[in-house]
């Protein structure tokens, strides 16, 4: 049902123009291979249900020894979103919006105190969420510099204001929304990406 109703979304129009993947391939594999980074969003807020589903998919990522050390901040609050955007831009030394206008920012943090492999665990959470957003017909993109932002005094202040305690490291920002621009086509996969040793 979801897929049929999402055919009305702009991202679904973008999706239909993508190169076709063999139809014999199951939907999960098709989604993994057709997800692309979207770098321009409409201000329209995705539904709460979709955002929750994306986050939930993130929580099912594997974690080393199942510590589940990552934490997802599902930010739809415009004031906080804009504040994080400014900090991110400051790290980059620009004054544009590094979140490309996306109304949702899913910040992944990971607790170094409880995790054995916090960066790996948080990165898998990010990957699940990027792919889940695409599977729902939404656009997404990994936006870097979460590590620097949450190592800054103002980044730490945000966590304190939210009542978040722990030895958190910023892993990534998964921005989500309705695409306003089509994504760039996938670059060709490099020669020798997979080496067989039989
Ligand atoms: C760790 C990491 C950091 C990234 N940081 C950014 C970023 O700050 N801004 C951005 O536009 N894209 C960022 N990306 C997206 C990559 O540029 C993108 O995945 C790559 O160009 C391949 O394109 P595709 O995602 O469409 O396949 C990042 C991706 C990863 C994995």
**Average pLDDT value over all residues in the chain:** 91
Q: Is the CB of 144 under 6 A from ligand 1?
A: yes
> What was the pLDDT predicted at 2?
34
Q: How far is the CA of 143 from the centre of ligand 1 (A)?
A: 7
Share in percent of the chain as helix, strand, coil (round to 5): 40, 15, 40
And the tokens for 43?
């201000």
> What was the pLDDT predicted at 15?
43
> What was the pLDDT predicted at 20?
57
Residues 79-102 have a mean pLDDT of 98
**Ligand 1 atom, smallest distance to 123 CA:** 1
Query: Max Cα separation, the chain?
Result: 55
> What was the pLDDT predicted at 14?
42
Summarised one tens digit per residue, pLDDT across range 11-51 is 443 443 344 567 778 999 999 999 999 999 999 999 999 99
Whether 92 and 98 have beta carbons less than 8 Å apart is answered as yes
* CATH superfamily, region 38-177: NADH Oxidase (3.40.109.10)
> What was the pLDDT predicted at 190?
98
Residues 95-113 have a mean pLDDT of 98
Q: Where along the chain do its domains lie?
A: 38-177
Handedness of CA 36, 39, 43, 49 (dihedral sign): positive
Q: How far is the CA of 95 from the centre of ligand 1 (A)?
A: 19
> At residue 68, does pLDDT exceed 60?
yes
Q: Is the CB of 183 under 6 A from ligand 1?
A: yes
Residues 11, 7: Cα–Cα separation, whole Å: 8
Summarised one tens digit per residue, pLDDT across range 120-141 is 999 999 999 999 999 999 999 9
CA angle 96, 171, 174 (to 5 degrees): 55
**Ligand 1 atom, smallest distance to 36 CA:** 26
């Amino acid at each position: 049902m979801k897929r049929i109703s999402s055919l009305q979304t702009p991202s679904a129009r973008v999706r239909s123009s993508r190169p076709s993947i063999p139809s014999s391939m199951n939907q999960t594999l098709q989604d993994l291979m057709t997800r692309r980074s979207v770098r321009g969003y409409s201000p329209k807020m995705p539904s709460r249900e979709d955002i929750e589903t994306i986050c939930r998919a993130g929580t099912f990522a594997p974690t080393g020894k199942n510590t589940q050390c990552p934490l997802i901040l599902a930010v739809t609050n415009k004031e906080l979103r804009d504040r994080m955007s400014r900090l991110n831009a400051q790290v980059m030394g620009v004054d544009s919006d590094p979140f490309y206008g996306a109304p949702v920012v899913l910040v992944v943090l990971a607790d170094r105190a409880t995790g054995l492999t916090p960066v790996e665990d948080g990165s898998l959470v990010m990957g699940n969420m990027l792919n889940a957003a695409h599977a729902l017909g939404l656009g997404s993109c990994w936006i870097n510099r979460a590590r620097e932002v949450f190592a800054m005094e103002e980044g730490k202040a945000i966590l304190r204001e939210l009542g978040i305690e722990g030895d958190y490291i910023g892993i990534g920002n998964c921005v989500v929304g309705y695409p306003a621009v089509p994504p760039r086509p996938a670059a060709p996969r490099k020669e020798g990406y997979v080496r067989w040793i039989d």
